[in-house]
Amino acid sequence: MTQYFEIEQRDGAARIGKFLLSSELRTPCILNTAELGKFNNPGPVVDAGSFWGEFWGTKSNTALEARVKQIREKVGNGTLIILPHQAYPPAIPADSLGKAQRFTVTNSENVEDTGPTGSLLRVGGKLKKSDLYIMEGSGTLENNAQKFLETLIELKNQIPPDTALYAPNLALPENIAMLVYLGIDLLDDTRAEIAAYSDIYLTAAGSLYLDSMTEFPCRCRVCAESTPAELRKLPKIERAKFLSAHNRDVLEAELSLVRERIRAGTLREYVEGQCRVRPWLTALLRFGDFEYSYLEERVPTFRQNQLLADTSEALTRIEVARFARRIQERYTPPELEILMLFPCSARKPYSTSQSHQKFIQALGKYRKFVHEMILTSPLGIVPRELELTYPAAHYDTAVTGHWDEEEKAWVSGCLEAYLSKYRYKAVVAHVEGAYREICERVASNLGIEIIYTATGSLVSMEALSNLKNTVESICASENFSKKSLNAEEEKKNFLKAIAEYQFGEDAGLLFSEEARKLAVKGRFPKYQLFTGKKQLATLVPQYGMLALSLEGAELMLRSEKYLVKIGDFLPRGSILAPGVIQADPGIRPNDEVIVLGEKALCVGRAAMSGKEMVKSNRGIAVDVRHVKKL
């Protein structure tokens, strides 16, 4: 925990924060490496130096303590000091590291300092209380995506969530977005400076050699004053100064764009395009998605912006994977005997599209007998009851009519898993093209029959008539029990499906026996769940999830899921992290949560994950909506 670093905004693992120093330092940021060693007129961060220098052979921490005290007297308590350290490449085995440390100071563990500090951190090393942690040997892990990510995740799991992580000697304009996306807060200009002295011109799309350039693609103040031909005529030191200024400018410009993407909640979309610059960045994104638990804990349950699924990596992004998992793990379909499969539509929610309106009209009075499911890429399968729920009504993708094998395998896998778990007397598919190929693949794998009702256009009179006649004939068959849902049951089922998706199996508490006077009021999509005259929850159409009332929160209390426990105080507005005593680790940013304290019961929206609420010392934990004094 720290009293100097505060996170202001999040976009998954990426964060915008600030260091409360003598001169405020906003993160993510680029540190000037050359300025870190200056103790006279210092910047917000200084480096106390390495054990490898004057401290080699020191038998105690006395010299180190004196050194840190001397620096602190010079820079004051408003400057963050990176404590003396002894860096090794991460590949050095732990036993070899131990032998080397016998001849030096063991660690800076016992070096006391009264102001903000930074500490070098090695995987498996002892954690010292600091405000900033430095990822040891991060520069040596470039181009080794798997090792870099493993190291990063181990370090992030070691340190408190409200402290910053610095990865030195790694930043280039091309990789800043990816590094910040994965959780790095501070970077430096070391690589940019080295590139400048090697006649390398940096851009966000990669590096260019000065001797191969005809014109500068950048229009910064530096590039506007010269051409590559003119620059090549200058002495090397002059060229280096020019390139250094440009490289630094392009680093800062890229970082500004990344910060704007974080604020907009669209960093993932940008990273999916930017990762194409270098193979190791593409590998980092893919490995990151494989590390589902690390990112999922930090990704909000919904966003205000549209989810763009324009690349193959969209199939594995957290929001998509989470939606598919919750369908398999949390969703319970209505007790109907006919499953009706439809294709997705460009317009969301699907039921408002012209094609789905025609499907619904064709089903007519038989619609109450069927359970509707939509097949789509990248989400896989979407039950009709969840078509409003993020991201089902909030994504867009390129429509070409062509599905690649990855998309077919993903969607067929989702449908196959669902049909393996839930069996129907009849499965009808009003689909064509790749959708039909997916259905045929699933039917073959499971050994079931799927009835197809179209051979060409799905909205032709012939296809729609065939759809109606097929469902009618199934309903007229002798072995069909005609299980159906009336209008009121359909509304309750709609809200219950959303509640289960949102809260898990404990959502049944909202629909329990003691709430037998349940009724759904309001017009779609602004449904409200009532028991008698008491409102329990409201469906929020913007993201398709439920907002609880205090009465609804009281029913949900017994599960202790999505519960935040606070101390002996009455909240007024937001609840800060220091006020949280305990929180369900399953809570994600933007989740609907119940807050319980000795003096109050509240409902609100989580601003951070449950784990972060407990482990953080700064920042808003819950935005409270309603408070009841106990």
Q: Are 325 and 586 in contact (CB under 8 A)?
A: no
Which pLDDT score is estimated for 58? 47
Among candidates 365, 346, 366, which has minimal Cα distance to 356? 346
Tens-digit pLDDT profile for residues 139-157: 999 999 999 999 999 999 9
Q: Tell me if residue 132 falls in helix, strand or coil.
A: strand
Residue 74 binned pLDDT confidence (cut-offs 50, 70, 90): confident
85 forms bridges with which residues in the sheet? 50
Hunting for tokens 């319970």 — which residue is that?
Answer: 332
- Sign, CA torsion 275/281/286/292: negative
Q: Which CATH superfamily is domain 509-629 in?
A: PUA domain (2.30.130.10)
**Count of residues making up the chain:** 630
What are 371-405's pLDDT values in tens digits?
A: 999 999 999 999 999 999 999 999 999 888 889 99
So what's the pLDDT on residue 402?
Answer: 87
- DSSP string for residues in 421-436: HS--SEEEE---HHHH
DSSP for 170-192, please give it.
---TTTHHHHHHTT--EEESHHH
Give the pLDDT band (50/70/90) at residue 96.
low
Cis peptide before 28 (omega within 30 of 0): yes
Looking at the DSSP assignment, which residues form a beta bridge with residue 18?
6, 26
- pTM comes to 0.93
Q: How far apart are CA 470 and CA 426, in angstroms?
A: 11
HSE on the CB side for 125, CA within 13 Å? 29
- Judged on CB neighbours under 10 Å (0-12, 13-18, 19+), 568 is exposed
Q: What region does 447 belong to: left with phi over 0, alpha with psi -120 to 50, or beta?
A: left
CB-based contact 506:485 (threshold 8 Å): no
Q: What pLDDT score was predicted for residue 102?
A: 43
The DSSP bridge partners found for residue 605 are 592, 623
The whole-angstrom separation of Cα 349 and Cα 566 is 38
Where does 307-476 sit in CATH, by number?
3.40.50.10630
Tokens linked to 223: 């590039």
CA 574 to chain centre: 23
Check residue 398 and give its pLDDT: 86
Contact 494, 527 (CB under 8 A): yes
* 1-188 CATH: 3.20.20.105
Residue 608 has pLDDT above 70, yes or no: yes
Residue 449: Cβ-neighbour burial (10 angstroms; 0-12, 13-18, 19+): exposed
Q: Count CB-CB contacts under 10 A for residue 576.
A: 18
- The pLDDT value given to residue 55: 45
CB 155 within 8 A of CB 141: no
**Bridging pattern class, strands 117-121 and 132-135:** parallel
Say if residue 59's pLDDT is above 50: no
Confidence of residue 303 (pLDDT cuts 50, 70, 90): very high
Q: Are 274 and 177 in contact (CB under 8 A)?
A: yes
| Closest by Cα among 240, 217, 241, 237 to 227 | 217
The answer to whether 185 and 133 have CB atoms below 8 angstroms apart is no
- Domains in the chain: boundaries: 1-188, 190-265, 307-476, 509-629
CB neighbour list of residue 152: distance below 8 Å, 6 or more residues apart: 135, 165, 182, 183, 184
* Three-state DSSP class for residue 55: coil
- Which string of DSSP letters, residue by residue, matches 455-466? SS-TTSHHHHHH
Distance separating alpha carbons of residues 546 and 534, to the nearest angstrom: 16
Please say if the pLDDT value at position 52 is more than 90.
Answer: no
Cα 496 from chain centroid (whole Å) = 26
- Which of 5-19, 278-292, 510-524, 596-610 has the lowest average pLDDT? 510-524
pLDDT classification of 471: cutoffs 50, 70, 90: very high
Average pLDDT over residues 105-124: 70
Q: What's the pLDDT band for 51 if we cut at 50, 70, 90?
A: low
Q: What residues contact 411, with CB distance under 8 A and at least 6 apart?
A: 375, 376, 377, 380, 381, 438
Rounded Cα–Cα distance for residues 13 and 589 (Å): 11
Tokens 């340190």: give the residue.
159
CA distance 151 to 124: 10
pLDDT in tens, 405-428: 999 999 999 999 999 999 999 999
**Band of the pLDDT at 514, cuts 50, 70, 90?**
low
List the structure tokens of 299. Answer: 């990704």
pLDDT band for position 103 (50/70/90)? Answer: very low
DSSP 34: G
Mean pLDDT of the chain: 91
Going by C-beta distance under 8 Å and a sequence separation of 6 or more, which residues neighbour residue 403?
Answer: 377, 433, 434, 437
What pLDDT band is residue 112 in, cutting at 50, 70 and 90? low
For residue 266 the two structure tokens come to 């669209």
Q: How far is CA 602 from CA 79, 351, 565, 566, 593, in A?
A: 39, 35, 10, 10, 8
- Residue 170: C-alpha distances to residues 91, 155, 277 (Å): 17, 17, 15
Confidence grade of residue 301 (pLDDT, cut at 50, 70, 90): very high
| Residues in Cβ contact with 364 at an 8 Å cutoff, skipping those fewer than 6 apart | 468
Distance CA 204, CA 178 (A): 12
Taking the CA of residue 201 as centre, how many other CA atoms within 13 Å lie in the half-sphere pointing to its CB?
20
Q: Within 13 A of 46's CA, how many CA atoms are on the CB side?
A: 25
Answer for the pair 27, 19: CB distance below 8 angstroms, yes or no: yes
User: Measuring CA to CA, how many Å separate 72 from each of 52, 100, 593?
Assistant: 21, 29, 44
**Interatomic CA distance for residues 437 and 431, integer angstroms:** 9
Residue 431: the pLDDT is: 96
Q: Would you tell me how many other CB atoms lie within 10 Å of the CB of residue 318?
A: 21
Distance CA 171, CA 28 (A): 12
Residue 126 binned pLDDT confidence (cut-offs 50, 70, 90): confident
Rg over CA atoms, the chain: 29
Residue with the larger pLDDT of the pair 455 and 350: 350
The owner of tokens 């039921």 is 351
- Token pair 């010269």 is found at 226
- Summarised one tens digit per residue, pLDDT across range 181-233 is 999 999 999 999 999 999 999 999 999 999 999 999 998 888 998 999 999 99
The answer, yes or no, to whether residue 579 has pLDDT greater than 50, is yes
Q: Please report which helix (H) or strand (E) contains residue 382, including its range.
A: strand 380-383
